[in-house]
């Protein structure tokens, strides 16, 4: 897994069994305004955060978002969020195929972008910056054709971030089951995408 950098950020692999890493994740992931809006439950304790790092975040295309030059020394080399490319979930791919939206996409050349960042860092343009590096990696290094992204229709902040990144509206997916939230919860989600050709056009501007 390669390390990616931007003007303000380092995107690196998550570190399992690291107390400082776990504490930093729990610091932000326990906030009820962060996880549920992104589709996962707020962490109940540090043990849950440690388990999430081991079982979810330590994969080939999941990156810890770290400030390159933090003003607070306590934030040096500490994750403040996460960004990843992951397989498009079956229920989303089924929706894409049912609407004949797949085009040239196949399991091997399309992925979904997911991200979140700690509440103290909202509104600073860090996620669009991180996403720019991930898109470049996805299209140049992984040779993807399409990258998808989605958000709860009520999550206005995430929608604005996706606008800035260059994701274009595709459709509203209705009654999508939230597998990572407790209970039988369904939401309407806006599905967006950016193709390699669209990304190349934006990069040339």
Q: Which of 158, 146, 153 is nearest to 199 (CA)?
A: 146
Classify strands 146-152 and 110-117 as parallel, antiparallel or unpaired: parallel
pLDDT for 101 equals 76
pLDDT for 147 equals 96
pLDDT for 58 equals 95
pLDDT for 104 equals 67
Q: Are 58 and 64 in contact (CB under 8 A)?
A: no
Q: Which residues of the chain have pLDDT under 70?
A: 1, 104-107
* Token digits of residue 144: 């993807």
Q: Which of 50, 56, 116, 52 is nearest to 81 (CA)?
A: 116
pLDDT for 145 equals 93
pLDDT for 143 equals 94
pLDDT for 107 equals 61
pLDDT for 108 equals 72
pLDDT for 24 equals 98
pLDDT for 132 equals 96
For 87, phi then psi, to 5°, come to: -60, 140
Classify strands 9-13 and 4-5 as parallel, antiparallel or unpaired: antiparallel
Radius of gyration of the chain (CA): 17
pLDDT for 179 equals 87
Using one digit for the tens of pLDDT, what is the confidence trace for 143-166? 999 999 999 999 998 999 999 999
């Amino acid at each position: 897994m390669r390390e990616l950098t931007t003007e303000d950020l380092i995107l690196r692999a998550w570190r399992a069994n690291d107390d400082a890493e776990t504490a930093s994740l729990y610091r932000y992931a326990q906030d009820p305004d962060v996880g549920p809006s992104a589709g996962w439950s707020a962490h109940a304790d540090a043990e849950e955060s440690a388990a999430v790092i081991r079982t979810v975040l330590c994969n080939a295309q999941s990156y810890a978002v770290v400030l390159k030059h933090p003003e607070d020394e306590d934030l040096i080399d500490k994750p403040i969020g996460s960004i990843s490319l992951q397989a498009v979930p079956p229920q989303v791919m089924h929706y894409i195929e049912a609407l004949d939206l797949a085009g040239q996409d196949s399991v091997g050349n399309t992925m979904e972008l997911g991200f979140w960042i700690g509440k103290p860092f909202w509104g600073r343009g860090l996620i669009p910056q991180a996403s720019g590096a991930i898109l470049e990696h996805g299209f140049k290094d992984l040779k993807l054709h399409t990258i998808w992204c989605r958000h709860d229709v009520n999550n206005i902040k995430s929608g604005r971030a996706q606008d800035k990144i260059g994701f274009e509206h595709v459709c509203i997916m209705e009654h999508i089951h939230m597998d990572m939230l407790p209970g039988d919860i369904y939401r309407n989600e806006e599905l967006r995408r950016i193709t390699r050709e669209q990304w190349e056009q934006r990069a040339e501007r």
